Structure 1
Amino acid sequence: MIGLVLAAGAGRRLRPYTDTLPKALVPVGPEGAEDAVTVLDIALGNFAEVGLTEVGIIVGYRKEAVYERRAALEQKYGLKITLIDNDKAEEWNNAYSLWCGRDALKDGVILANGDTVHPVSVEKTLLAARGDGKKIILALDTVKSLADEEMKVVVGPEGGVR
């Protein structure tokens, strides 16, 4: 099993922070702090904490910034990182980014969005839920209201996806 991070989007709503960086590399710590963590740091740290050793990152917008940091991120988190280019990041959405990383799916993946911060308990819960013939396990937020452009699923009364 590997970790897969969808990090190709432009993050237009985060401008001016994303004028020079992809949204996954925008610091989420105190403003101006040199050691502020990014969303990508959090995702990679979570993957490392649950024992994953390989991660694929789908990159697109300002991808050169991720390429420049790959070696440092590999060293910091003890992960082998493969960068996968989404050549249509400006035109297409997360579904196409997932398609770009489809070769990794055969090995089983834990998927993280490059613009979502969450605790490592999410990965731990997903890994604990494996088994019993379950092919796909999703972590869903059934409380938060989402904007029109955000990805959504329909949840059935028993908690599963319809």
Structure 2
Amino acid sequence: MKALVLSGGSGTRLRPLTHTSPKQLVPVANKPVLYYVLEDIARAGITEVGIVVGDTAFEIHEAVGDGSKFGLHVTYLPQEKPLGLAHAVLIARDFLGDNDFVMYLGDSFVVDGIGGLLDEFRADRADARILLTRVPDPSVFGVAEVADDGRILGLEEKPARPKSNMAAVGVYLFTPVVHQAVRAIEPSRRGELEITHAIQWLIDTRHDVRSTVVHGYWKDTGDALGMLEANRFVLESVEPRSEGTVDADSEVVGRVRIEAGAQIRGSRVVGPAVIGCNTVISGSYIGPYTSIAENCQVQDTEIEYSIVLRDAHLDGVSRVKASLIGRNASVTPAPRNPASNRLILGDHSEVQISS
């Protein structure tokens, strides 16, 4: 069996962070989301991985390399434009050959992993098996109609009137018959070859399509809320460790990982939290569910339930919560006299200011 990991796309829901970096490389607990996907694939015993890449191919290649650090052999598959998940299968035909394969979206976060899903697939030899979960707003996902025995009766992409609350979570298992399906379908109204249409073709041609329901944690990390929630979940199990320095005027409470070279000075850090290497925390409060990446400076600031990316600088900020702060970002107080707020924001930014 092989794996096909999708790491193209423009990451519009995470802009402006994704103007300068792929969404799959935004960190959860200071580790890129894509790394969790690749580690999951390796744990499942798969070693041959094709990564579909687009405009951010260089950044993905730089982060993953040849895959050896994950115990994988990685082949990069360029996709000129993000023309749909089924199009990714189409361009991966030579890499996949006649092997069964798992298709895994590079920004999906399946904490329980795909090992059990693969066991079910190998046991029943269905033509396709889809990972599903119940969601409150299925209209933004591919939505499945499921029979009592778990067989898929129908699948629609982002329907205006969903027939169920069962959504595809971005992990699919296929036999080689799917190659017939992706060649048989036409582009959707948005100009993409939809994997939901390919699966519906399999259903219509009487192939065996089954489902597995996620009972553990799953999160779509394609937007800010999803990133923060995934970060919160991973930090719940962080192992406390200190490879940096904590001075006598500081207090560290709970599960906190302080990475090499980090310094905590006159501050209080309440876990679960992660402080990246060579980051300096001074005169500050770092609250629960916060990840601060490497080489950051945090001074006279209160922050919690947030993700701070590398080389960011926060100084004199009274309260930051539920925030994503990008690379090399600077957050400082506004002048008191005259009272004003000075903003330099990129496209698709979002700011909330206390009145």
Query: What is the TM-score of this pair, normalised by structure 2?
Result: 0.40
Aligned to 1:75: 68
Q: 1:40 to 1:158 in 2, by over 3 A?
A: same
Q: Deviations over 1:133-157 (max 9, x none)?
A: 3222221113452343x33333234
Letter in 1 for 2:85: N
CA RMSD of aligned residues (A): 2.0
Which residue among 109, 115, 124 is the counterpart of 2:101? Answer: 109
Identify unmatched segments of 5+ residues in structure 2.
154-355
Question: Match of 1:56?
Answer: 50
Which amino acid in 1 is paired with 2:138? L
Q: Please give the alpha-carbon distance, in whole angstroms, between the structure 2 residues aligned to 1:161 and 1:84.
A: 30
- Tell me: CA distance 1:133–1:13, structure 2 relative to 1, closer, same or farther (3 Å): closer
- Percent identical: 32
Q: Which has the higher contact order (CA 8 A, sep 6+)?
A: 1
2:32 is the counterpart of 1:38: yes
Q: Distance between the aligned counterparts of 2:25 and 2:149, measured in 1? A: 37
Counterpart of 2:163 in structure 1 is none
TM-score in terms of structure 1 length: 0.82
Question: Does the CA-based 8 Å contact 1:2-1:110 persist in structure 2?
Answer: yes
In 2 relative to 1, CA 99–153 (structure 1 residues): closer, same or farther, beyond 3 Å?
farther
Aligned to 1:15: 15
Aligned-partner Cα distance in 2 for 1:115–1:133: 27
| Aligned counterparts of 1:65 and 1:81: Cα–Cα separation in 2 | 15
> What residue is the counterpart of 1:127 in the other structure?
118
AA paired with 1:86?
A: Q
The answer for the alignment partner of 1:152 in structure 2 is 143
CA distance in 2, matches of 1:9, 1:155: 29
Assess, with a 3 A threshold, how the Cα gap between structure 1 residues 101 and 2 changes in structure 2: closer, same or farther: same
Q: Distance in 2 between matches of 1:134 and 1:147?
A: 27
- Deviation above 4 Å: which 4+ runs of structure 1? none
Where does the alignment leave 5 or more consecutive residues of structure 1 unmatched? 30-35
What is the aligned partner in structure 2 of residue 4 from structure 1?
4
- Counterpart-to-counterpart distance in 1, 2:55 and 2:26: 13
C-alpha distance after superposition, 1:12-55 (max 9, x if no partner) = 010111111111111122xxxxxx11121001000111211111
- Kept in 2: contact 1:53–1:79 (CA 8 A): yes
One-letter amino acid of the structure 1 residue matched with residue 18 of structure 2 = T
| Mapped partners of 1:126, 1:63: distance in 2 | 29
CA separation in 2, counterparts of 1:75 and 1:133? 30
Instruction: Rate the CA distance shift 1:17–1:60 in 2: closer, same or farther, 3 A.
Output: same
Q: Is the 1:10–1:22 contact (alpha carbons within 8 Å) kept by the matching residues of 2?
A: yes
Q: Does 1:85 align with 2:75?
A: no
- Which one of the candidate residues 149, 152, 156 is aligned to 1:161? 152
Tell me the distance in 2 between the aligned counterparts of 1:110 and 1:117.
Answer: 15
Corresponding pairs, count? 151
**Structure number with bigger Rg:** 2
